[in-house]
C-alpha cells in the first residue's frame, strides 16, 4: 500500500506503553503526529524521542497528540525511556507503540511485505526505512509525510512549523510561502478573487498576477 497526502491514515490496533489503542479512536478530535523508529536503543532515535518529549506543551497548544512507534516489543520500551531521560533530560510521556510483528511498519509503507513478521534478529539497518513522520488531521487524513535517513536527526521545530501552516491553511483560503513562520505574510489562493480578497483580508499586495500576499489571518 502506497500512502499519499489526503489519503485516510490506515487504522490499526496495537499495544503501546499506555495500553492497547485503536489508532483512529485514540486520535479522536485531535491532530496527531506518528513518528517511527527502526529499533530501540539507537543513538539518533534516542535524541529524537527526548526532543519530542521536550516539546510536549507546544504540541498540546496546537491540539496535537504525539505517538511513537519502534520495531521492537513494548516490553523493551520501558528501559529505552530510562535511557532517553538520561541522555536528554526529558521523560517520554506520550505512548510508544510496540511493532514486534512489523504490522504497522508494513501498513504505513515503511517496510515491504516480504520483510517477515518478527523484529527478532533484525538490525537497525534492516529497518532503515522506518524513519517517517506522519501528520494526521482530525478527519484522519494524512496531511504530511517526511522520511529521514538514519544518520540525520529530525527537526521537530520544522514539524511544528508545518503543523502551524497546515492548521492555518485549513481555516483560511491561504497558502504559506517558503520559510514561512507564524506572523509572516501569507499567499492568497487562486480560488479567491481580488474583490473577495479585499473583503476577507482587508488589503493585499500583488507581487505577480498569480502571487498575492497579505497579512496572516487571525485564527
Q: pLDDT tens digits, residue range 139-172? A: 999 999 999 999 999 999 999 999 999 999 999 9
Helices marked H in 55-101 — which ranges? 56-61, 77-88
Let me know if 1 is a catalytic residue: no
Residue of 45, 66, 160, 186 marked active site: 45
Three-state DSSP state, 171:
helix
Query: Is this prediction's pTM over 0.75?
Result: yes
- pLDDT of residue 219 exceeding 80: no
pLDDT tens, position by position, 16-58: 999 999 999 999 999 999 999 999 999 999 999 999 999 999 9
Distance CA 114, CA 116 (A): 5
Residue 186, exposed/middle/buried by CB under 10 A (0-12, 13-18, 19+)?
Answer: buried
Distance CA 189, CA 197 (A): 9
Amino acid at each position: 500500500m502506497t500512502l499519499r497526502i489526503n489519503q485516510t491514515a490506515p487504522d490499526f490496533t496495537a499495544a503501546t506503553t499506555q495500553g492497547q489503542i485503536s489508532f483512529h479512536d485514540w486520535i479522536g478530535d485531535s491532530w496527531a503526529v506518528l513518528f517511527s523508529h527502526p529499533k530501540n536503543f539507537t543513538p539518533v532515535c534516542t535524541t529524537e524521542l527526548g526532543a519530542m518529549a521536550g516539546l510536549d506543551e507546544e504540541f498540546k497548544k496546537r491540539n496535537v497528540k504525539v505517538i511513537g512507534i519502534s520495531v521492537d516489543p513494548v516490553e523493551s520500551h520501558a528501559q529505552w525511556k530510562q535511557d532517553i531521560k538520561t541522555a536528554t533530560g526529558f521523560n517520554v510521556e506520550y505512548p510508544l507503540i510496540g511493532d514486534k510483528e512489523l504490522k504497522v511498519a508494513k501498513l504505513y509503507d515503511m517496510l515491504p511485505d516480504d520483510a517477515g513478521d518478527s523484529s527478532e534478529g533484525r538490525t537497525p539497518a534492516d529497518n532503515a526505512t522506518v524513519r517517517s513522520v506522519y501528520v494526521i488531521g482530525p478527519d484522519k487524513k494524512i496531511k504530511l509525510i517526511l522520511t529521514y535517513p538514519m544518520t540525520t536527526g529530525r527537526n521537530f521545530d520544522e514539524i511544528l512549523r508545518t503543523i502551524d501552516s497546515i492548521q492555518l491553511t485549513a481555516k483560511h483560503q491561504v497558502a504559506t510561502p517558503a520559510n514561512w513562520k507564524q506572523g509572516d505574510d501569507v499567499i492568497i489562493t487562486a480560488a479567491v478573487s481580488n474583490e473577495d480578497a479585499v473583503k476577507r483580508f482587508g488589503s493585499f499586495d500583488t507581487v505577480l498576477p498569480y502571487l498575492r500576499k497579505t497579512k496572516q489571518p487571525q485564527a
